[in-house]
Copies of this chain bind each other. A is one copy, B any other.
Amino acid sequence: MAYFDVASSAPLHPVARQALQASLDEGWADPARLYREGRRAVLLLDAAREAAAEAVGCRPDELVFTPSGTYAVHSGMSGALAGRRRIGRHAVVSAVEHSSVLHAAAAHEAATGGTVTEVPVDRLGAVSPDAYAEALREDTALACLQSANHEVGTEQPVAAVAEACRGRGVPLLVDAAQSLGWGPVEGAWSLLTGSAHKWGGPAGVGLLAVRKGVRFAPQGPADERESGRAPGFQNIPAIVAAVASLRAVRAEAADEAVRLRALVDRIRARVPELVPDVEVVGDPDRRLPHLVTFSCLYVDGEALLHELDRAGFSVSSGSSCTSSTLTPSHVLRAMGVLSEGNVRISLPLGTPETDVDGFLEVLPSVVSGVRERLGAPVSAAGSAGTGPSLVVDALGKRCPIPVIELAKVFGDVPVGGTVTVLSDDEAARLDIPAWCEMRGQEYVGEQPADHGVAYVVRRVS
């Protein structure tokens, strides 16, 4: 039984639990009140704010607590965009930001008529500082860049991008949700957001830091709490627990970073040896210590999660073929990597080596079992081939069937011949080119068809 999905949510850290229980008696009253219960509450809140600010690397009066990391992003973006409306309504984001950032950017476009530039990423998931700098314009009100990607673990060049933004006078908001437990964010950021349940704090606590001097106009109804940046009564026991947890995980971070990095290196090296037709994605070096993502050809993501869960391993997936999503992860799509049979592993602090070994032991049979049930091709090599071209009708079939059908017949065309896959599944647009890249075959392109899209692949070896 191993939980490998702290990038979604981490179990409550023991220190957080202690702090929560200890502050339930003192932290329930209104910190704005003048009587003793209120004064006790505000003491707890002030102390938590100071400790959080120290961990983030800002002044206490620059930091507010929000009801979630998502709310911190929404409030931070809308306040910074409104604060600079006179400069313009243009925002810059990377293509691989968390959905809370992308949704806030979309809301900005819809509500104010603003525009948003998405800076693309390379195949490892990182933006180029130069490309990011080029996206900044005279009318750019806000730039956003995550500290590290939540799906593939790749670290972004935040310090370089912050420098470019500073040169242009554009504030940079850093979504540090995935990295804040590991350390402060380097560089001259202007706004920063975080989420406590990612670092072992309770849910219900996010944080938003806004550096002095950043123009900020809180949006939505007025509220006197948290500088008007997060309305509603503060949950002080949860805030105290969140900050205690942040300090505790920071104390373990240096040692655990080394240890978990080695475990992730083991996964990155062993999975392609143990399982055929796998692509490990994300930057192998500039990455979060504890997170790795890979995709398995010819595998249905939901079935894979289900079988891994039965085998005692809780992981998540950015595949389109899971019940919680119908389109493949925008992160994998932006990277141009395979999305089918996608697995993200994010190791909790203290994960024993034996859990990782146990995972590596069950993974090959789990993947081959899923492939077998789907009728996936066992070997990738083809025969001499029977004709110059073939058409595969995969209409109405969901990921990973279109790629499986492609692979099944690919050996039947001679070198130089083509296979055309007809598909109406959105994931095929990503997965068929990714299959070509993995197989060293040529992806010719796509054409509209009577039904769905025709994806054309040429056999080159």
Interface residues of A (CB under 8 A from B): 3, 5, 8-12, 17, 20-21, 24-25, 28-30, 32-38, 67-71, 74, 100, 103-104, 106-107, 195, 197, 202-204, 206, 220-223, 231-238, 302, 305-306, 308-309, 314-316, 322-324
Contacts and interface: CB of A to CB of B under 8 A. Distances in A.
29 contacts: A3-B29, A3-B37, A5-B37, A9-B29, A9-B30, A10-B28, A12-B24, A12-B28, A24-B202, A28-B203, A33-B324, A34-B302, A34-B306, A34-B323, A35-B308, A35-B314, A36-B309, A38-B314, A68-B232, A68-B233, A71-B232, A74-B231, A107-B222, A195-B233, A203-B235, A203-B238, A204-B233, A204-B238, A238-B238
Nearest to A202: B235
A67 B74 CA distance: 14
Contact of A238 (B25, B74, B222, B235): B235
A70 B231 contact: yes
B17 A24 contact: yes
Contacts of A36: 309, 314
B34 A11 contact: no
A313 to B, nearest CB: 8
Contacts of A231: 68, 70-71, 74, 100
Contacts of A223: 70, 100, 103
A30 B107 CA distance: 25
Copies of this chain, tallied across the complex: 2
A33 B197 contact: no
A168 B189 CA distance: 52
A2 to B, nearest CB: 10
Given A36-B309, A106-B222, 18 more contacts: A9-B29, A9-B30, A11-B25, A12-B28, A34-B302, A34-B309, A34-B322, A34-B324, A35-B315, A74-B220, A106-B221, A107-B220, A195-B233, A197-B233, A203-B238, A204-B204, A220-B220, A235-B235
Nearest to A17: B24
Q: Which 9 A-B pairs have the closest CB atoms?
A: A68-B232, A67-B67, A204-B235, A35-B314, A70-B232, A103-B221, A203-B235, A107-B221, A204-B204
A122 B231 CA distance: 30
B29 A8 contact: yes
A277 to B, nearest CB: 23
A305 B35 contact: yes
A107 to B, nearest CB: 4
A202 B35 contact: no
Contacts of A69: 232-233
Contacts of A29: 3, 5, 8-9, 11, 314
Contacts of A308: 35
A8 B38 CA distance: 10
Given A12-B24, A24-B12, A34-B306, A203 B100 contact: no
Contact of A8 (B3, B5, B9, B33): B33
Contacts of A322: 34
A308 B33 CA distance: 13
Nearest to A316: B33
Contacts of A206: 232
Contacts of A302: 34
A369 to B, nearest CB: 17
A107 B302 CA distance: 44
B8 A28 contact: no
A8 to B, nearest CB: 4
Contacts of A67: 67-68, 71, 204, 232
Contact of A237 (B25, B202, B324): B202
A325 B264 CA distance: 55
A38 B309 CA distance: 11
A159 to B, nearest CB: 27
Contacts of A195: 233
Contacts of A197: 28, 233
Contacts of A100: 221, 223, 231
Contacts of A17: 24
A194 to B, nearest CB: 13
- Of the candidates A38, A68, A324, the one having the most CB atoms from chain B within 10 angstroms of its own CB is A68
A43 to B, nearest CB: 15
